[in-house]
């Protein structure tokens, strides 16, 4: 009889992928696990489902109180109003203005914070200077201090240099607050790479930026995806920093959403509020759906050595 056991040597030579045995029957433990996962998924998806249904209903159906019922006459009028004509205070230009403001804030903030975090992590891993560990510990400690502690000092500093209530000011704030976690991610990732790669590049005459651009950065795709996802989510969903530092002309989408929900002219339009809420969350959701598997790979790659 041919044995069904495949050794690790056979797997290595023959390229056989090791897989666990599939369960032949449902046990009480597995049923409980499936029930827990289904309940958790329902708990998190139910609010999103209600928002989506409400945004597709006219106000006549919403007033009937059938919150879980499917729309009898679905319409996209609330979505159009939320995007282009909903009132945010005294102006009625919809949430589209906040969307483009968020894009203008997001792009430079993500690029600068990820690039500087990668450089810091690379320098701390392969070009350490005296006191590098102390500096890294101080940088990480700043990540655990609440944002509210820094608001007043930063407002005074930015006002003195003339960048308060400006696009440059809010971008600089996001770069500053993104530096600790970005540095931690890239430092752990680069510390897990073989030191021989760096030594070989040094023997070939590579300098600081040459090794970074030609050796380290091309190998950093998994952790780059993780860093981009974290920064996109953090910058896009930010409210307090955008409200404080962006200025009236650069208010991000989250602040505009708050203004739409709190601005009432006559009857409160719940379908418009829900449509604006869904529109605000589209970008982070799209990023997660497109790059979800890379996010898991990057987290695992950066958790090997710290």
The CA distance from 191 to 32, in Å, is: 40
Q: What pLDDT is attached to residue 237?
A: 93
Q: What pLDDT is attached to residue 245?
A: 94
Is 226:299 a contact under the CB 8 Å cutoff? yes
Q: What pLDDT is attached to residue 300?
A: 64
Q: What predicted TM-score, i.e. pTM, was given to this entire model? A: 0.81
Q: What pLDDT is attached to residue 216?
A: 92
Distances in whole angstroms, Cα of residue 11 to Cα of each of 2, 146, 225, 248, 260: 16, 50, 31, 62, 60
Q: What pLDDT is attached to residue 77?
A: 93
10-residue mean pLDDT series, the chain (306 residues): 44 50 74 92 90 92 86 91 86 90 95 94 87 82 83 92 93 93 90 89 90 91 89 93 92 92 79 93 86 69 49
Q: What pLDDT is attached to residue 131?
A: 79
Q: What pLDDT is attached to residue 113?
A: 95
Q: What pLDDT is attached to residue 136?
A: 82
Q: What pLDDT is attached to residue 209?
A: 92
Q: What pLDDT is attached to residue 4?
A: 44
Does CATH number 1.10.3720.10 belong to domain 105-269+283-302?
Answer: yes
Q: What pLDDT is attached to residue 98?
A: 92
Q: What pLDDT is attached to residue 304?
A: 46
């Amino acid at each position: 009889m041919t044995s069904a056991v495949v050794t690790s040597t056979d797997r290595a030579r023959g390229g056989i992928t090791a897989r666990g045995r599939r369960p032949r029957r449902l046990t009480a433990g597995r049923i409980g696990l499936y029930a827990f996962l289904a309940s958790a998924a329902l708990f998190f998806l139910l609010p999103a489902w209600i928002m989506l249904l409400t945004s597709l209903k006219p106000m006549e159906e919403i007033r009937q109180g059938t919150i879980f019922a499917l729309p009898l006459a679905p319409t996209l009028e609330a979505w159009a109003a939320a995007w282009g004509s909903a009132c945010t205070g005294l102006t009625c230009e919809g949430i589209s203005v906040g969307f483009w403001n968020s894009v203008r804030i997001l792009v430079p903030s993500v690029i600068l914070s990820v690039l500087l975090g990668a450089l810091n992590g690379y320098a701390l891993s392969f070009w350490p200077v005296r006191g590098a560990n102390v500096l890294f510990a101080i940088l990480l400690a700043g990540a655990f201090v609440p944002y509210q502690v820094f608001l007043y000092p930063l407002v005074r500093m930015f006002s003195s240099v003339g960048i308060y209530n400006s696009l440059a000011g809010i971008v600089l704030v996001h770069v500053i607050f993104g530096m600790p976690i970005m540095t931690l991610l890239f430092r752990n990732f680069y510390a897990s790479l073989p030191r021989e790669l760096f030594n070989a590049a040094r023997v070939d005459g590579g300098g600081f930026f040459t090794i970074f651009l030609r050796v380290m950065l091309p190998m950093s795709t998994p952790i780059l995806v993780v860093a981009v996802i974290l920064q996109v989510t953090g910058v896009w969903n930010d409210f307090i920093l955008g409200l404080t530092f962006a200025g009236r002309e650069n208010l991000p989408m989250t602040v505009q959403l708050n203004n739409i929900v709190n601005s009432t002219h006559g009857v409160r339009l719940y379908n418009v509020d829900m449509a604006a809420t869904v529109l605000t969350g589209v970008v982070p959701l799209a990023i997660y759906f497109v790059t979800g598997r890379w996010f898991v790979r990057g987290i695992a790659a950066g958790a090997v050595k710290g």
